[in-house]
A and B are shown apart, each in its own frame.
Chain A
Amino acid sequence: KQEVTQIPAALSVPEGENLVLNCSFTDSAIYNLQWFRQDPGKGLTSLLLIQSSQREQTSGRLNASLDKSSGRSTLYIAASQPGDSATYLCAPYSGGGADGLTFGKGTHLIIQP
């Protein structure tokens, strides 16, 4: 059974800093990994999807890396802004068909103005 750990659990920094959020997973036989953002009481917004054959995926100020063999992924946020404040969840996908995602507990991020 896939187990996902996210470090740190919470992070509060002043705006402008570059940040690294970490995700580790126990079953490295994955097809891809998704990073999501969740605002309080809201649904999940997909930020990046990185396939198992890829090492990195970028969207704007966000960059996700994947080291499948070691069971690790990082989400890099450049030049953080107060609007980046949210909970960030990672979810590796192991299923060959329709299969649910297993989520980490998330990193709760606060960017101070």
Chain B
Amino acid sequence: DTEVTQTPKHLVMGMTNKKSLKCEQHMGHRAMYWYKQKAKKPPELMFVYSYEKLSINESVPSRFSPECPNSSLLNLHLHALQPEDSALYLCASSQVIGLEGQFFGPGTRLTVL
């Protein structure tokens, strides 16, 4: 299985809602990533988990809360988001020493009203 899956594909939420994005991989990768991509911009790194521990947080606001319950799963909990947080959220995975490249999921299109 060489696939990264993400759910849901689309999400619309109000600024007072709490929601979660989910990501799963079964390639035995021990590094997982969240990226944010705004329209017509390249992806920007948000968080990196290595061996289920948060290793990189790129100064992301606390309204985004990542969680890595096990080596195959990665969640992104959302609370009190702003309309400017609307974007495509991409999950990726790789070997910890990333010599085999990163593999990306299809993304979740998030709209904050």
A31 CA to B102 CA, complexed, in Å: 13
Contacts of A102 in B (CB 8 A): 45
The interface size of chain B toward A, counting residues with CB under 8 Å, comes to: 33
Of the residues B42, B49, B97, contact of A96 by C-beta under 8 Å: B97
Q: Does B109 contact A (CB under 8 A)?
A: yes
Closest to B55 in A: A98
Q: Does B50 contact A (CB under 8 A)?
A: yes
Closest to B48 in A: A98
Q: Does A51 contact B (CB under 8 A)?
A: yes
Q: Mark A95-110, 1 if CB is under 8 A from B, else 0.
A: 1111111111110000
Closest to A35 in B: B101
A interface, size bucket:
20 to 34
Q: Does B35 contact A (CB under 8 A)?
A: yes
Which of B13-21, B69-77, B88-96 lies at the interface?
Answer: B88-96
Contact surface of A with B, Cβ cutoff 8 Å: 31-32, 34, 36, 41-46, 49, 51, 89, 91, 93, 95-106
Apart from the given pairs A43-B107, A98-B30, A102-B45, 20 other A-B contacts in the complex at a CB distance below 8 Å: A31-B99, A42-B107, A44-B90, A46-B101, A46-B102, A49-B100, A51-B99, A93-B98, A97-B31, A97-B50, A97-B55, A98-B31, A98-B50, A98-B94, A99-B56, A100-B35, A100-B58, A101-B43, A101-B45, A103-B42
Would you mind naming 10 contact pairs between A and B with Cβ atoms under 8 Å apart? A42-B107, A43-B106, A44-B90, A46-B102, A49-B101, A97-B96, A98-B31, A98-B94, A99-B48, A100-B48
